[in-house]
Amino acid sequence: MPTEAPPVPVLKSGPAQELSANPTYLEAVGAALDHEMERDPDVFILGEDVGQFGGAFKVTKGFLDKYGPRRVVDTPIAETGFTGLAAGASLVGLRPVVEFQFADFISCAFDPIINVLARHHWRTGDPMPVTMRAPFGGRLRAGPTHSQSVESYFAHVPGLKIVMPGTPEDAAGLLISSIRDDNPTLYLENKYLYRRLRATGPLSMEPIPLGVAKVVHEGRDVTLITYSAGVHQGVEIAQELAKEGISVEVVDVRTLVPLDVETIVNSVRKTSRAVVLHEAAKRLGYGAEIAATIQEEAFWHLDHPIVRIAAKNTPTATSPPLEDAIIPQPAEIAETLRKVARE
């Protein structure tokens, strides 16, 4: 029974954060969130330390000043509770954006995500527009419970969308679409990229549709299907391999659910060889779904088994030599692509 919201004062005009000329991945997330909160008074953000502190990674820095504590809500450490709160608020017309401080802690909200958010629309027909943002991934020497890739925990479950941008441009456009989407959406931010990846110019605030993959590097010999940090890695390696005469097509799936099977399969039909890359552990990582799907859809075009490059089936270690041995490294990726392209 949503009713009309009263006009919501914005306490401070102008952007919550000043953007640099080539905004970082981190700035892109913040700017898109700011854009949506300014545009739609029903959008609010909640999570641990998102207020005065601006979030553990500073995505919401300046938001409290601009929007006030009504729309920038510091919660107790209660992931089950505040995720369920978001579900309830969305049910009666708000558009909550939940920040998990680290994606690792989303495990504490697994139950409401699976059983309340994902299933609600199918059970009842009511929309449940909740966006869940979580910084994930390794390479920061943060160890087994601060480095997790969590997409596989959720990709099996019908009713969630899963968004994993690999560039600042996509981070902005896909977050906007996630917030406007009427479904619960898991939006996973690669925290290693936050300050390391910059946009090529000013950011557009145009929504980018969910479920549309992008060929980010064209090639003929082998298709590399990837997402998130795999995208810039993949493109860099493709550029290197081009010098050796190996032509790699890099497909950024951008959203895992829905998955743009057509773009993937079209590319594989062209190259006849496919490698899937992600930072999550290999066993039942999303690469398994992509590989299984490709061989279903393009089996007779394949000149080589599909290869999955992924983290080892171990937790993520803290110590650099150990973590580097677990998470796929550029040399391994390049070598695999060479092998698959040439074999």
Partner 1 sequence: MSKDKKATGDSLEGRDPELLRRIYEVMVLTRAVEDRMVAMYRGGDLLGSLYTGHWHEAISVGAASCLRPDDYLAPIHRDLGAHLWRGMEPWQVMASFMGKATSPTGGRDGTLHYGRLDLGIYNLPSHIPANFPVATGMAFAAKYRGEDKVCLAFCGDGSTSRADFHESLTIASVQKLPNVFVIENNQYAYSTPVRLTSHSDTFSAKAAAYGIPGVTVDGTDVLAVRDAVDEAVTRARAGDGPSIVEGVTMRMHGHAEHDPADYVVKELFEEYSKKDPVELFENVLRKAGLLDDDTARKVRDEARQSAIAARRKALADPMPEPGNIEEGVYAD
Ligand X SMILES: Cc1ncc(C[n+]2csc(CCOP(=O)(O)OP(=O)(O)O)c2C)c(N)n1
Q: Pick from 16, 37, 72, 155 the residue near a second copy by CB under 8 A.
A: 155
Preceding peptide of 135 cis, ω within 30°: no
Per CB under 8 A, the segment of 224-232, 293-301, 307-315, 329-337 that binds partner 1 is 307-315
Per CB under 8 A, the segment of 87-95, 234-242, 264-272, 299-307 that binds partner 1 is 87-95
DSSP string, 28-93: HHHHHHHHHHHH-TTEEEEETT-STT--TT-TTTTHHHHHHHHHEEEPPS-HHHHHHHHHHHHHTT
Q: For residue 211, what is the enclosing H or E element?
A: none
The residue sitting closest to ligand X, measured at its beta carbon, is: 105
- Among 142, 133, 338, CA closest to 247: 338
**What φ, ψ does residue 294 adopt, rounded to 5°?**
-60, -45
- Minimum Å gap between C-beta 106 and ligand X is 9
Partner from partner 1, a second copy, ligand X, none binding residue 324, C-beta < 5-8 Å depending on class: partner 1
Q: Pick from 23, 112, 137, 234 the residue near partner 1 by CB under 8 A.
A: 112
Looking at the Cβ atoms of 213 and 268, the one nearer to partner 1 is: 213
The alpha-carbon radius of gyration of the chain (Å, integer) is 20
Looking at the Cβ atoms of 241 and 310, the one nearer to a second copy is: 310
User: What is the C-alpha separation between 168 and 318, in angstroms, rounded?
Assistant: 27
Partner from partner 1, ligand X, a second copy, none binding residue 321, C-beta < 5-8 Å depending on class: partner 1
Whether residue 262 lies in the annotated active site: no
Q: Does 314 bind a second copy (CB under 8 A)?
A: yes
Residues near ligand X (CB under 6 A): 48, 77, 79, 101, 105, 108
Report yes or no: 307 and 225 within 8 Å, Cβ to Cβ.
no
Q: Pick from 20, 52, 115, 239 the residue near a second copy by CB under 8 A.
A: 115
Give bridge partners of residue 217 from the DSSP assignment.
250
Whether residue 146 lies in the annotated active site: yes
User: What is the C-alpha separation between 292 and 233, in angstroms, rounded?
Assistant: 23
- Minimum Å gap between C-beta 6 and partner 1 is 5
Q: Which residues are catalytic?
A: 79, 146
